[in-house]
């Protein structure tokens, strides 16, 4: 099996932010198309439909650096895609016996769709590696801070206490769910496209299905059983899994930006490496105008990636409605959005691994912020303590009144409660206002998330060992 060459190092003004996980440029697309053509020549030779040595000759010529992407793009204006020009240029490089093996049985969509699948496989594998590193870091934080109390925040307002372990466990669960789905799509839905002119492989006669199976094996892709020229659910499912991964990383990044604000200061991004805004060496996060600042660069980059994903997913979903056996425009509309979504997901995943492995947790600041509330976030707990003797609604009203007076007059909530609640001891109020006594099932939920993470790791490892769901080559004439 030939190992397809894939993503390139980030290049370009914005690539360091939006293509940190690898860039899918013209060279990557071109090489993936050439890898498909070369694999087809090898499959034809194995099936006895091309002369001995043809596969090796085509493979040797199928190097992207031997072709001019700009010229292929210009010629694509004549045919609607670059494959016919590429096939002609590749054929002209080869002696006649090997040249006859180029593109035999294929159509342009077969080459571009399969190239897209090769790029998707490469990009998904890279993203999954970064997501795995991010999940491992989240798991470490969840375990280390299982009992670290902090303010919960709902609708951006102070709520009941939670633990940072539970927060990290929530991040972990999102990452694990996203990578499980992406790994499943990578394994089961990233598949070969090979159907010829109208999905029948008529030009290969009875050998068509066998050549398709051999081609899938050459490329390490699943054999879908039949061509999917206008059934674009694979593309939609892949795009949805990618967008889901972006959403999981974006949730983490948004939490970090909020918790890293100076007024909160419960989390800080690691300093990393890089340069200051003026171009001189310095720690990451510098500002071009304000030297004191330490911006959450990784979180910002993740959000910059993740916020583009929904629109790209929508474009790919709209394009999935395609006509008859080959689409007029819907297929063409997929190429750039899919490549961009693969890039952005890889970048978001890479930034997320960087963010979580270097994240600094300030448990003391969490305790300080919790104490600074004067116990107000424990009002629900106090209500529960008073309800058995007062009734739930009277207890609620008493606590609400005490909270309002404490806030308006700047008096301690505890004092207002003691003044309003006849017969309730200071010890009872103090116990009700202790955050450690009102964390509910936070530790249980965190432990469950960690157990589920261990199961996810086992399941993903098993999936990697099993590989793509390829079908064996059906029997037919020619060498086996």
**CATH, residue 79:** 1.20.200.10
203 is catalytic: no
Q: Are residues 343 and 390 in the same domain?
A: no
Q: What is the block-wise mean pLDDT of the chain (480 residues), using blocks of 10 residues?
A: 56 88 94 98 98 98 97 96 98 95 98 98 97 98 98 96 98 98 97 98 97 98 97 98 98 98 96 47 56 83 98 97 95 97 98 97 98 95 95 96 96 95 92 96 98 96 74 41
Q: Is residue 296 part of a domain?
A: yes
The residues with which 158 forms a beta bridge, in sequence order, are 153
Q: What is the CA radius of gyration of the chain?
A: 29
Q: Are residues 327 and 401 in the same domain?
A: no
Query: Are residues 229 and 109 in contact, defined by beta-carbon separation less than 8 angstroms?
Result: yes
pLDDT of res. 475: 43
Q: Is residue 437 part of a domain?
A: no
Structure tokens at 103: 């593109």
Q: Is residue 143 part of a domain?
A: yes
Candidates 287, 307, 389, 448; catalytic one: 287
Structure tokens at 230: 């206008």
Q: Is residue 480 part of a domain?
A: no
**Pairing between β-strand 267-268 and β-strand 360-361 as defined by DSSP bridges:** antiparallel
pLDDT of res. 470: 47
Which H or E run contains 351?
A: helix 335-358
Query: Are residues 126 and 149 in contact, defined by beta-carbon separation less than 8 angstroms?
Result: no
- Give the separation between CA 252 and CA 307, rounded to whole angstroms: 13
Q: What is the phi/psi pair of residue 108, to 5°?
A: -55, -40
SS3 428: helix
Q: What is the phi/psi pair of residue 282, to 5°?
A: 180, 180
- Give the separation between CA 236 and CA 316, rounded to whole angstroms: 6
Q: Is residue 134 part of a domain?
A: yes
Structure tokens at 44: 């034809």
Q: Are residues 415 and 358 in the same domain?
A: no
Q: Are residues 383 and 357 in the same domain?
A: no
Could you give the C-alpha distances from 370 to 163, 259, 363, 379, 436, in angstroms and in order? 11, 13, 11, 13, 11
452-471 pLDDT per residue, tens = 999 999 999 988 877 765 44
pLDDT of res. 271: 77
Could you give the C-alpha distances from 296 to 43, 174, 260, 267, 423, in angstroms and in order? 50, 21, 8, 10, 50
Q: Are residues 354 and 389 in the same domain?
A: no
Query: Are residues 204 and 29 in contact, defined by beta-carbon separation less than 8 angstroms?
Result: no
Which of 19, 119, 5 lies closest to 349, judged by CA?
A: 19
Could you give the C-alpha distances from 300 to 81, 236, 250, in angstroms and in order? 36, 27, 9
Q: Is residue 443 part of a domain?
A: no
For residue 333, what is the DSSP state? G
pLDDT of res. 9: 67
Candidates 5, 63, 181, 326; catalytic one: 326
Q: Is residue 354 part of a domain?
A: yes
- Give the separation between CA 473 and CA 469, rounded to whole angstroms: 13
59-96 pLDDT per residue, tens = 999 999 999 999 999 999 999 999 999 999 999 999 99
Query: Are residues 196 and 203 in contact, defined by beta-carbon separation less than 8 angstroms?
Result: yes
Indicate the number of domains in the chain: 2
Structure tokens at 444: 């249980």
**Long-range contacts of 60-64, Cβ-Cβ distance < 8 Å, separation of 24 or more:** 61/90, 61/93, 61/94, 62/34, 62/35, 62/37, 62/38, 62/90, 63/31, 63/34, 64/5, 64/27, 64/30, 64/31, 64/34
Which of 424, 423, 417, 383 lies closest to 402, judged by CA?
A: 417
287 is catalytic: yes
- Give the separation between CA 128 and CA 241, rounded to whole angstroms: 11
pLDDT of res. 275: 37
Q: Are residues 217 and 359 in the same domain?
A: yes
pLDDT of res. 423: 85
Query: Are residues 118 and 30 in contact, defined by beta-carbon separation less than 8 angstroms?
Result: no
Query: Are residues 169 and 142 in contact, defined by beta-carbon separation less than 8 angstroms?
Result: yes
Which H or E run contains 49?
A: none
Q: Is residue 1 part of a domain?
A: no
pTM attached to this predicted model: 0.91
Q: Are residues 395 and 281 in the same domain?
A: no
Q: Are residues 160 and 295 in the same domain?
A: yes
Q: Are residues 158 and 204 in the same domain?
A: yes
Q: Are residues 190 and 292 in the same domain?
A: yes
Q: Are residues 329 and 459 in the same domain?
A: yes
Q: Are residues 324 and 411 in the same domain?
A: no
Residue span of the structural domain in which 398 resides: 375-432
């Amino acid at each position: 099996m030939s190992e397809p060459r894939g993503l390139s190092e980030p290049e370009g003004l914005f690539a360091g932010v939006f293509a940190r996980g690898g860039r899918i440029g013209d060279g990557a697309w071109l090489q993936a198309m050439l890898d498909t053509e070369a694999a087809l020549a090898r499959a034809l030779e194995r099936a006895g439909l091309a002369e001995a040595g043809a596969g090796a000759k085509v493979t040797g010529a199928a190097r992207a650096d031997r072709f001019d992407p700009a010229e292929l793009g210009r010629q694509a204006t004549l045919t609607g895609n670059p494959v016919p020009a590429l096939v002609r240029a590749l054929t002209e490089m080869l002696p006649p016996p090997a040249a006859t093996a180029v593109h035999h049985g294929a159509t342009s969509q077969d080459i571009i769709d399969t190239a897209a699948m090769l790029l998707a496989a490469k990009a998904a594998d890279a993203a999954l590696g970064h997501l795995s590193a991010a999940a491992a870091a989240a798991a470490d934080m969840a375990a280390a801070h299982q009992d670290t109390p902090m303010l919960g925040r709902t609708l951006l307002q102070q709520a009941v206490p939670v633990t940072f372990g539970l927060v990290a466990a929530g991040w972990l669960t999102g990452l694990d769910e996203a990578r499980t789905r992406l790994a499943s799509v990578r394994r089961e839905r990233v598949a070969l496209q090979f159907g010829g002119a109208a999905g029948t492989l008529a030009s290969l006669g009875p050998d068509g299905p066998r050549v398709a199976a051999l081609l899938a094996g050459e490329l390490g892709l699943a054999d879908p059983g039949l061509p999917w020229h206008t059934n674009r659910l694979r593309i939609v499912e892949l795009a949805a899994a990618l967008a889901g991964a972006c959403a999981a990383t974006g949730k983490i990044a948004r939490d970090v930006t909020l918790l890293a604000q100076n007024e909160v200061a419960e989390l800080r991004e690691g300093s990393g490496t890089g340069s200051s805004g003026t171009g001189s060496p310095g720690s990451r996060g510098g500002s071009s105008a304000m030297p004191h600042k330490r911006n959450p660069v990784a979180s910002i980059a993740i959000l910059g990636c993740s916020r583009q994903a929904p629109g790209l997913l929508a474009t790919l979903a709209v394009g999935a409605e395609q006509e008859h056996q080959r689409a007029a425009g819907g297929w063409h509309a997929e190429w750039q959005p899919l490549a961009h979504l693969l890039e952005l997901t890889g970048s978001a995943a890479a930034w997320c691994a960087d963010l979580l492995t270097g994240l600094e947790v300030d448990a003391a600041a969490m305790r300080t912020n919790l104490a600074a509330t004067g116990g107000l976030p424990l009002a629900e707990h106090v209500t529960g303590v008073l309800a058995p003797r007062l009734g739930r609604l009277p207890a609620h009203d008493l606590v609400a009144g005490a909270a309002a007076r404490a806030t308006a007059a700047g008096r301690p909530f505890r004092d207002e409660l003691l003044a309003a609640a006849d017969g309730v001891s200071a010890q009872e109020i103090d116990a009700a206002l202790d955050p450690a006594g009102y964390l509910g099932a936070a530790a249980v939920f965190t432990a469950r998330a960690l157990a589920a993470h261990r199961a996810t790791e086992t399941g993903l490892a098993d999936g990697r060992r099993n590989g793509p769901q390829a079908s064996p080559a059906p029997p037919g004439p020619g060498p086996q």
